[in-house]
Amino acid sequence: MAVPTTTGPPHSPAATLAPAARTSAASDQTPETPPAAGADTALDAAAMATRIRQDVIRMAGGPEGAHAGGSLSCADVMAVLHAELLRPGDSFVLSKGHAAPALYSALSQLGRFPADELDGYAQPGSRLFGHPRYDLPGVEFATGSLGHGIGLSVGLALAEQLRGGDRCVYTILGDGELQEGSVWEAALLAGHRALPGLVAVVDRNGLQITGGTEDTVGLEPLDAKFVAFGWQARTVDGHDLPALRDALRPSPDGPVVVIAKTVKGRGVPFLEQRVAGHYAKLKPALVQRALAAIGRSAGGPS
């Protein structure tokens, strides 16, 4: 079936393809979002990543704190995807839903909602919960319970495969999240179906709440696991923007996993590689210290 061109900003949830003449019941479910204010402006991934880190720190300075470590580690992947790679009609699913602060920043930079909404993050009356809701502009599924986003992405990619479309589906998983068995149910199916256009990024920061992933329940050799499941595996420095740009390209031949080697808390020295930085509630002085550090060290490979 011919794939209609969808309009809208990058990673707008795709317009529903209803093969039947009848009105699709599901079309009501697809979030309708207005075009982004700055959609015409070419976005710079490095600038977006820096802004994500600043916003994450500001949210962590709010009354409830935020999942800072894992939001900072995936900031560069998030920025490359949202600033450069996601085309109209492509999908993005944040499987590690606790990195919501990074996603919220990216979406606000795309004009999906006003940037000043970030100031109310996790506060009464805000729609910005600690984990994203499906009805937020630019978010298609509620995530946060780990091990769901990859299956949802497989479903989206399967829909595309069944209809012969060429739209892509990107998802970001945490590395600790890979301990969830449902990840591997989804991975097995994606490999079996050789789903094209599916790219799963593992934010391989090596830490989970209780310690290192390899000390908790080890994941290595991780690339070999995905290869054994029928995926192409690419390992890359998760803070090297040009390398990410290259590695994140989808394949027409089957699913791709990008193992993005990252530093938890990246960009904020007192949070980097710290288990305690997983969830941070920062006092104003630390917010200032963190923002100053981000200003100095923005971008660049590890």
Partner 1 sequence: MTATRTAEQTATQTAEQTVSGTVDEQQPVLGPDPRTAYREALLELAAADPRVICLDSDTGGLEDTFAKQFPEQYVNIGIAEANLMTVAAGLASRGFIPYVHTMATFATMRAAEFLKLDVVGNRLPVRVIATHGGLSAAHFGTTHFALEDLAVARALAELAVVVPGDGRQIGAATRQLHELPGPAYLRLGRSATPVPPGAAPDLRLGHARVLRDGTDVTVVATGPLPLLFALEAAEELAGDGVSAQVLELHTLHPLDRDGLLAGCRGRAGVVTVEEHRPQGGMGDAVAEVVSAELAVPMRRVAVRGTPGGRVASQRDALAAHGVSTADVVESARQLLARTHEKHQRPASHGAAATRTR
Q: Which spans of this chain sit near partner 1 (rule: CB under 8 A)?
A: 13-14, 16-20, 22, 24-30, 134, 140-142, 145, 147-148, 151-160, 162-163, 181-182, 185-186, 188-189, 192
**Cβ 217 to partner 1 shortest distance, Å:** 19
Nearer to partner 1, 13 or 69 (CB): 13
**Cβ 116 to partner 1 shortest distance, Å:** 27
Nearer to partner 1, 58 or 92 (CB): 92
| Residue 42 CB neighbour total at 10 angstroms | 7
Residue written as token pair 């991934």:
45
Q: What CA–CA distance (Å, rounded) separates 8 from 220?
A: 40
Interior/surface letters 107-127, b for 16+ CB within 10 angstroms, e for the rest: bbbbbbbeeebbeebbeeeee
User: What Å distances lie between residue 249 and 168, 218, 244, 253, CA to CA?
Assistant: 10, 28, 9, 12
DSSP-derived letter for residue 280 is: B
Q: What CA–CA distance (Å, rounded) separates 230 from 224?
A: 10
**Cβ 114 to partner 1 shortest distance, Å:** 24
Nearer to partner 1, 93 or 102 (CB): 93
Nearer to partner 1, 148 or 204 (CB): 148
What's the angle, vertex CA 131, arms to CA 148 and CA 123, rounded to 5? 165
**Cβ 228 to partner 1 shortest distance, Å:** 16
What's the angle, vertex CA 251, arms to CA 250 and CA 252, rounded to 5? 125
Nearer to partner 1, 27 or 210 (CB): 27
Residue type, 229: F
**Cβ 150 to partner 1 shortest distance, Å:** 8
Give the N- to C-terminal CA distance of the chain in Å, as an integer.
Answer: 44
Structure tokens, 58? 């500001």
| Residue 179 CB neighbour total at 10 angstroms | 17
Residue type, 50: T
| Residue 228 CB neighbour total at 10 angstroms | 13
Nearer to partner 1, 150 or 271 (CB): 150
**Cβ 23 to partner 1 shortest distance, Å:** 10
Nearer to partner 1, 193 or 245 (CB): 193
**Cβ 125 to partner 1 shortest distance, Å:** 21
Backbone φ, ψ for residue 206 (5° rounding): 80, 0
Nearer to partner 1, 52 or 128 (CB): 128
Nearer to partner 1, 18 or 209 (CB): 18
**Cβ 27 to partner 1 shortest distance, Å:** 7
**Cβ 187 to partner 1 shortest distance, Å:** 9
Strands of 198-204's sheet in order across: 91-94, 169-174, 198-204, 256-261, 232-237
Structure tokens, 121? 């993050």
